[in-house]
Chain A
Amino acid sequence: MRSRPARVLVLLAAVSLLLIALDRWTALDPLRRAGSLVYGTAASLIASATRLGGDADRLRALEHENAALRADNLTRRQTQTATTLPDPAYRALPAHAVGFAPGSITIDIGTGDGVTRDLTVLNADGLIGRVTWAGPSTATVSLLTDRASSIGARVPSGEVGTITGHDGRLLLRLLNPQAALAPGDKVTTLGSDNHRPYVPGVPIGEVVQVNPSPGESTQTAVVRPYAALTAVDLVTVVLP
C-alpha cells in the first residue's frame, strides 16, 4: 500500500507521459493554440503597453509601409550571379517581437493575419529566422543562430553553401573547398523552393574569420549576423 502523495505523483507522472506520447504522435496543437491565445495575447498586451505612444494609428500605418519597403529592398539587392531571380510581389507583414526565449522569439501576429509556418522573418539589418509555428494570435520564430537551423547561403563570388547556428554566431560551409572567401564578405540567403522557408537575397551576415581547411572537402568560416538577435523589436514577415 503506497502513501497518498506517492499515488498523486504516479498519477500526474502518468498524465505527463501521456501528454508527451500524444504530442509526439498527433501534435497537441489545440493546447498550443490555447497557450498562444492566453500567454501570447498577454505578452502582446504588455509589449504594446510599453511602447504606447501618442499617435499609435499613424505609427501602425508607417510600420506597415516600412515593412513592405524593407522586404522589397532587402530581397532586391541581389548578387549578379542570382540569375534565377523571380520577381514575386512579396507581401510583407510588420510584427513586434513580444516574447523571448533561448533560440527563438515570439511575434504578435498569427494565423489570423495570414502567418503560416516556414516563412522568412527579417528586420532592417538582415535575416532574423523563420516561422516554425503559427498560432491564432502569436507565432514562434526560430532564430538563425539556433542549433537546429540550417540555411542555404550565397557569398559574393557566387559560391553556395549552408549556414548553421554556432554559439550565437554562424558557421558557413561552402561546398567548394577552393572558393574565394575573405573576411568582410557579405553572405545572403540562397532561397528555398517556393521561397519557403527562405526567400532569396536577404542579407544574413558578414564573414569575420575564414577557417583554414587544407585537405578538407568543404571550406568553413565564422559569420557574424547583421541583425542584433538579442535586441529584436520590429520585424517583417515575408509572404511569398
Chain B
Amino acid sequence: MKAVVLVLLLPVVQLVAVGRWGGPELALVAVVVLARTAGTGAVLGFVAGLAADVAPPAEHTIGIGTLVLTFAGYFAGRLSSGRERPVFGERSAAERSAASWVGMLAVVAVAATWARAGLDLAVAGEPVALGDLAWLTGWNLVAVVVVAAVAARLSRRRQVAGRAVLRRRYA
C-alpha cells in the first residue's frame, strides 16, 4: 500500500526535479525494487506506469509505460518472492543471494528500458536516439543497483536484528 502511494507521487518528483538533468526513470526503479511477489508486483507496475503515462509531458502514448512496468513488476516480484532468505543459514549464502537479487533486478531494469524504447518506436513511431537510450539505460541501471543494494542491506540488517531477538529469547 505504501509502495502504491509512493509510485503515485513519483511523477511529480520526476517532472520537477529529475527531468532537469535527464536522470533515471523513478517509476521503473521503484517498481523493480519494491515488487514483493509476482501478482502484487504486476499491480504495482500497472499503477506506476499509468500514473507516469498520464502525467505531463503529454507527448507519449498512454499505455506503453503501463505495459512495460506491469511486466517489469511481475518479473521483479517473481525474483523477489523466490529469493532465499535463510533465517538461520550461513551469512555468505544470504549475501550471495542478495547480490544475485540485485543483479537480476538490474537485468529486468535494462530489459524494461529497451522494451520501452522499442515499443515507442514500433507503436508511436517515436525515433530513438541511441546516445539518449544509452544514457537512460545507464541511469536506470545505476539507480536500480544502488537502491536495490541499499534495500538488501536494510532488510539484511532487519533479519540480523530479528535473529538476535530470537536467540536471546530462546537461549
Taking Cβ atoms with an 8 Å cutoff, the residues of A that contact B are 4-6, 8-9, 12-13, 15-24, 28, 31-32, 34-36, 38-40, 42-43, 46-47, 98-106, 132-133, 135, 138, 140, 142, 147-148, 167, 230
Contact = CB atoms under 8 A, between A and B. Distances in A.
Nearest to A134: B58
Most central of A9, A35, A135, A147 by chain B CB within 10 Å? A9
Contact of A16 (B16, B43, B49, B59): B49
B16 A46 contact: yes
Contacts of A13: 67, 70-71
Q: Is the interface of B mostly helix, strand, loop or mixed?
A: helix
Nearest to A104: B57
A41 B45 CA distance: 24
B55 interface: yes
Nearest to A106: B56
B46 A16 contact: yes
B57 A20 contact: no
Contact of A9 (B12, B38, B50, B124): B38
B58 A5 contact: no
A102 B19 contact: yes
Interface string B45-65: 110011101111111011110
B127 A147 contact: yes
A17 B56 contact: no
Contacts of A17: 63, 67
5 contacts: A23-B62, A43-B12, A100-B20, A102-B22, A106-B15
B63 A20 contact: yes
A80 B59 CA distance: 37
Nearest to A21: B63
Interface residues of B, number: 44
A85 B95 CA distance: 71
Contacts of A132: 58-59
Most central of A6, A23, A133 by chain B CB within 10 Å? A23
Nearest to A147: B127
Nearest to A146: B59
A39 B105 CA distance: 28
B56 A31 contact: no
Contacts of A103: 59
A105 B161 CA distance: 47
A5 B78 CA distance: 9
B118 interface: no
Contacts of A99: 15-16, 19, 56-57
Most central of B38, B51, B70, B127 by chain A CB within 10 Å? B70
B59 A20 contact: no
Given A140-B59, A148-B126, A101 B131 contact: no
Contact of B70 (A12, A35, A133): A12
A171 to B, nearest CB: 13
Contact of A5 (B19, B38, B59): B38
B159 interface: no
Contacts of B14: 101
Interface string B1-35: 00000000001101110011010000000000000
B61 A4 contact: no
Contact of B56 (A8, A23, A140): A140
Contacts of B59: 103-104, 132-133, 140, 142
Contact of A98 (B16, B54, B70): B16
Given A35-B54, A100-B20, 19 more contacts: A5-B37, A5-B77, A5-B78, A9-B39, A16-B66, A20-B63, A20-B67, A23-B63, A34-B54, A35-B55, A39-B51, A39-B54, A39-B56, A102-B132, A103-B59, A105-B57, A148-B126, A148-B127, A167-B129
A21 B14 CA distance: 26
